[in-house]
């Protein structure tokens, strides 16, 4: 059958896989964003600590995704756990790096002014520094999400959820009638999801970043 017939016949399964793919990426990005911003807040004031945080999270990216997932399988088993752990770790670097850069880029005069009117350090952080650092942080989240879209496909190796299963089934049955259709459907599905997520981030940026500080 041709590609369009394949899509029509398997659309329900493909939609299910696409939903699972988007869901695991979204949930891992929520965790990676929370951890990344927290690490940035804790380390940005110290040059040494900030460099350590950036280097440590960057080191994770030097480990091939397939190898990391393979190492996690004996520890946490197959399925969702190794997928979530791997994706969260891979998603940290852009968020941590951009959080540190964004927080260090806040004009010290604004922080001094806030201190002068009696604002506490937590209040300055929440009301002045983090809002001004939000544009680069959002950029880091966008970059992480695009990376995780592709890495999540590899999680099918560990029986993880998502469109990677479609791609792996196609690769495992090369030469069969639907092998190419499966690989193409899984790949295009991931590309479409990545574009939809990026469009959502653009909208979030327009809604949450004041016009005066937009890049």
Domains plus CATH for the chain? 3-213 (1.10.3720.10)
Name the pTM for this structure: 0.90
Classify the C-alpha dihedral 142-147-150-156 as positive or negative: negative
170-197 pLDDT tens trace: 888 887 878 899 999 999 999 999 999 9
More confident residue, 187 or 158: 187
CA 193 to chain centre: 13
CA distances 7 to 4, 49, 175, 183, Å, are 5, 50, 19, 12
Token code pair at residue 97:
């790096």
At residue 215, does pLDDT exceed 70?
no
CA distances 159 to 38, 146, 185, Å, are 31, 21, 19
100-121 CB burial, b ≥16 within 10 A, e <16: bbbbbebeeeebeebeeeebee
**Do residues 148 and 25 lie in contact, with contact meaning Cβ atoms separated by under 8 Å?**
yes
Q: Which of 14-28, 57-71, 176-190 has the highest mean pLDDT?
A: 14-28
């Amino acid at each position: 059958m041709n590609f369009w017939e394949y899509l029509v016949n398997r659309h329900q399964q493909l939609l299910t896989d696409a939903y699972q793919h988007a869901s695991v990426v979204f949930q891992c990005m929520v965790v990676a964003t929370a951890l990344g911003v927290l690490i940035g807040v804790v380390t940005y004031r110290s040059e040494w600590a900030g460099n350590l945080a950036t280097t440590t999270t960057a080191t994770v990216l030097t480990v091939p995704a397939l190898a990391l997932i393979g190492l996690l399988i004996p520890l946490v088993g197959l399925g969702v756990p190794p997928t979530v752990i791997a994706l969260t770790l891979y998603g940290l670097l852009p968020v941590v790096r951009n959080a540190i850069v964004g927080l260090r880029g806040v004009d010290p005069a604004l922080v001094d002014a806030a201190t002068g009117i009696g604002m506490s350090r937590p209040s300055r952080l929440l009301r002045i520094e983090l809002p001004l650092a939000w544009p680069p942080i959002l950029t880091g989240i966008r970059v992480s999400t695009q990376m995780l879209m592709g890495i999540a496909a590899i999680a099918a190796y560990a029986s993880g959820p998502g469109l990677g299963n479609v791609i792996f089934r196609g690769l495992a049955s090369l030469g069969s009638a639907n092998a190419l259709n499966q690989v193409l459907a899984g790949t295009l599905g991931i590309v479409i999801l990545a574009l939809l997520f990026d469009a959502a981030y653009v909208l979030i940026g327009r809604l949450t970043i004041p016009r005066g500080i937009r890049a």
